[in-house]
Every structure is written in structure tokens, then in C-alpha cells.
Amino acid sequence: MRKSILAFIIIITITIVAVAVGRSWFLSNNIPKFSSGFVKVVNIALIKPTFTAAAYHKSFYKFFFLYSSLPSHAQKNITSDLNLLSSDVTNRTTGSSSAISIDCLTGYLKAPKSNISVLTDADVDNVNSLFFVNGTNKYDILILGHQEYVTQYEYDNLKHFVANGGTLVLMMETYSMLR
């Protein structure tokens, strides 16, 4: 219990430092876009890792730990506790997830001429949440937390967002698959 609390405090501290440094760097290295003499409104969406939270919330990992110590011949036909292999995906996130950081970020990102939205993995999975009917991006910047589990549609939509010229900010190290 102490290790998980300490790990949680370390993650939050690292996230706050990364946000403070990243925000300063981002603001100093990005010249506001001008359109007809006015500063362009920057649309930013923060993505809550709800699919990852569903996997960690009293389901998949609980099942895994219940049966991982069985001998391999006994693991072939497990027929009990199958309800743990699925979990409702809600806007609820676990206390150890980066969703808390996402909530904290909304206050730090408030800047003149910026619109901040908070979306979930399910929103990113839906093409209509990120793109207008003509296929252009609704947001200039997407900030992801710790999206350990994504659907193929979510992954494809993130790739399409970047291909359209959007900026994708990744706060955690799990993104080697996005290369």
C-alpha cells in the first residue's frame, strides 16, 4: 500500500513538473497564429484514459492474478470468474491513472484564446469527435495521458489527426507503438 501511494505521489509530481516545463517551452516556442489581424483560438483536447482504467478496475488484472499461479495444464480451460474479463467503460478512472493529471492540466492550460475540452478514449474512438464532416481536425492539440489500451479505431484516428497537421502531446512513455 505504501509503495502504491509513493508511486502515485511520484507520478503526480513528475506530471506537474513536466506540465510546468512543457507549458513554458510550448508557449515560448509557438508563435500565435494570426488570422485577419486577430490571434487564432487554439483548440486543445485532453484525453482521459478510460479504456485503461476499465482494464485496471476490478476486472482483467484481478482475473490474471487469480489464475497466473496455476500450473500451465490447469490454465487451459478456466471457466470461472469470466465476468472479470470484461468491464464497463465509463468516465470513471482509477486513482492511479493519469486521469487525475488530465483534470489538473485543465487549470494550467487556461490561456487567452484557448478552448479546452476533456474527452475520453471512447470519444477518440468515434471519428466525429475529432474531425469535422469535411475531415479536418476539430482540435489543434491533443494531450494524452497513459493510454495503455486503445482500440484500432482510436489508434487510426490519432494517426489521422497527426497526418492532418495536429499536434499530439504524449505525457507517458507507453507510446513506442506510435512510431
CATH of the domain at 168: 3.40.50
62 within a domain of the structure (yes/no) = no
Instruction: Provide the CA 89 distance to its chain's centre, in angstroms.
Output: 14
Q: What is the mean pLDDT of residues 39-51?
A: 83
Percent of the chain topping pLDDT 90: 21
Q: How confident is the model at residue 26 (pLDDT cuts 50, 70, 90)?
A: low
Measured distance CA(64)–CA(44) in Å, rounded: 37
> Do residues 120 and 151 make contact, with C-beta atoms less than 8 angstroms apart?
no
- Model pLDDT, residue 159: 94
Mean of pLDDT values over 4-10: 70
Q: By three-state DSSP, how is residue 178 classified?
A: helix
Residue 64, in any domain of the structure: no
Secondary structure letter of residue 91 according to DSSP = S
Check residue 108 and give its pLDDT: 65
> What is the rounded distance in angstroms from the CA atom of residue 175 to the CA atom of residue 156?
14
CA dist 66 to 79, 88, 102, Å?
A: 13, 20, 31
Query: Is 63 within a domain?
Result: no
24 belongs to a structural domain: yes
- Residue 96, pLDDT > 50, answer no
Return the C-alpha cell found at 19. Answer: 506540465
Total domain count, the chain: 1
CB 44 within 8 A of CB 88: no
Supply the range of the domain harboring residue 117.
2-57+92-178
pLDDT of residue 105: 65
What pLDDT score was predicted for residue 67? Answer: 74
More confidently predicted of 24 and 151 = 151
**Is residue 2 pLDDT above 90, yes or no?**
no
Instruction: Report the pLDDT value the prediction gives residue 162, as an integer from 0 to 100.
Output: 95
In a domain, 74, yes or no: no
Q: Is residue 67 part of a domain?
A: no
Mean pLDDT over the full length of the chain: 74
Question: Residue 137 in 3-state DSSP?
Answer: strand
Confidence check: pLDDT of 115 > 80 = yes
pLDDT at 134: 93
Choice among 64-68, 94-98, 153-157 with the minimum mean pLDDT: 94-98
**75 assigned to some structural domain:** no
Q: Would 68 be classed as within a structural domain?
A: no
Average pLDDT over residues 20-33: 56
Flag whether pLDDT at 146 surpasses 50.
yes
